[in-house]
Amino acid sequence: MANGSVAEVRDALADVGYLADERAALVSYLARELGKPVLVEGPAGVGKTELAKALARATGRELVRLQCYEGLDESKAMYEWNYRKQLLRIQAGGAERGWENVQDDIFSSDFLLARPLMQAIASEDPVVLLIDEIDKTDQEFEAMLLELLSDFQITIPELGQVSATTMPIVVLTSNDSRELTEALKRRCLYLWLDYPELERELEIVRLHAPELAETLARRLVEVIRMVRDLDLKKPPSIAESIDWARTLLLMGAEDIDRETFEQSLSVLVKHRTDIDLVAERVGVKLAGPSAPAAG
């Protein structure tokens, strides 16, 4: 993915198995050209994480991933002092060299344990940094990220600043489970990923399950869209479409009739109440092999 147009970025992503729409390709292109982080939001399973992975593959860069969770802090995300090594160093010869020397020594980079954010900044080769599910952390953690996101640097009180020598491509993802701060949003390009258009989803399904006949794949995507139109707790995402396609292949299904649908329903929806609703509203619309002929 050399310097190129949006279309080239889209093609480069397609070459590594990610079918981006126009907006996703544009934002990916801008991220690189403007050197700005991208915040990707959207429902579960629409390809947020995969976009970052695909960018890494397309650019031949290493993917450095920080999986966020509640309670994640600096020591797990950025860096930590290697206390054990520091202690050994002090024991191994503090007295004769003087405390000043030892102190300078033990707060040098040799005694630092780099966590993902520091690894991405300090890397000699440019990387793709994925900060996955940022909405799982708290606002303090977001505040801590601001310096990194705007200046690509990390300040360590005892050491000073560590600045990126190679520009990482930074992708943050969020499931929108809480509103992110304005300060964070301001520093990022924004991409809302949603369930794809029918034709794109068909392409994605065919890419992941190439053995599935085109007509069956099309039918699958149509039925998925009917299911999404219902008011479900958790509508099926692209991930479920792909799983369903593979399931139909394993079942040797030739059509999506009522029986096939009901047998494989739990691949699509994963809440008891959703299953009942879908069986009732969509299942009955499908012709069953044993369905009484209409009329």
Q: Nearest approach, Cβ of 71 to Mg ion (angstroms)?
A: 19
Interface residue with ligand ATP among 10, 32, 48, 206 (CB under 6 A) is: 48
Window contacting ligand ATP (CB under 6 A); options: 29-37, 139-147, 219-227, 235-243: 235-243
Interface residue with ligand ATP among 37, 47, 168, 235 (CB under 6 A) is: 47
Binding residues for ligand ATP, how many (CB under 6 A)?
Answer: 18
Which residues in 49-68 contact ligand ATP (CB under 6 A)?
49-50
- Contact status: 46 vs ligand ATP (CB under 6 A): yes
Q: For residue 162, which phi and psi values (nearest 5 degrees)?
A: -115, 115
Q: Are 109 and 159 in contact (CB under 8 A)?
A: yes
Q: Nearest approach, Cβ of 96 to ligand ATP (angstroms)?
A: 55
Q: Nearest approach, Cβ of 117 to Mg ion (angstroms)?
A: 18
Nearer to ligand ATP, 41 or 121 (CB): 41
- Contact status: 198 vs ligand ATP (CB under 6 A): no
Nearer to ligand ATP, 19 or 170 (CB): 19
Interface residue with ligand ATP among 204, 209, 248, 277 (CB under 6 A) is: 204
Nearer to ligand ATP, 112 or 130 (CB): 130
Q: Nearest approach, Cβ of 162 to ligand ATP (angstroms)?
A: 29
Closest of 34, 36, 31, 28 to residue 9, by C-alpha: 28
Which residues in 135-194 contact ligand ATP (CB under 6 A)?
173, 175
- Contact status: 129 vs ligand ATP (CB under 6 A): no
Window contacting Mg ion (CB under 5 A); options: 41-49, 145-153, 272-280, 287-295: 41-49
- Contact status: 49 vs Mg ion (CB under 5 A): yes
Window contacting Mg ion (CB under 5 A); options: 49-57, 82-90, 154-162, 222-230: 49-57
3-state secondary structure the chain: CCCCCHHHHHHHHHHCCCCCCHHHHHHHHHHHHHCCCEEEECCCCCCHHHHHHHHHHHHCCEEEEEECCCCCCHHHHCEEECHHHHHHHHHCCCCCCCHHHHHHHHCCHHHEEECHHHHHHHCCCCEEEEEECHHHCCHHHHHHHHHHHHHCEEEECCCEEEECCCCCEEEEEECCCCCCCHHHHHCCEEEECCCCCHHHHHHHHHHHCCCCCHHHHHHHHHHHHHHHHCCCCCCCCHHHHHHHHHHHHHHCCCCCCHHHHHHHHHHHCCCHHHHHHHHHHCHHHCCCCCCCCCC
CA-CA distance, 159 to 162, in Å (whole number)?
A: 8
CA-CA distance, 286 to 264, in Å (whole number)?
A: 14
Interface residue with ligand ATP among 144, 159, 230, 239 (CB under 6 A) is: 239
Residues of this chain that interact with Mg ion (CB under 5 A) are 49
Residues of this chain that interact with ligand ATP (CB under 6 A) are 17-20, 44-50, 173, 175, 204, 207, 238-239, 242
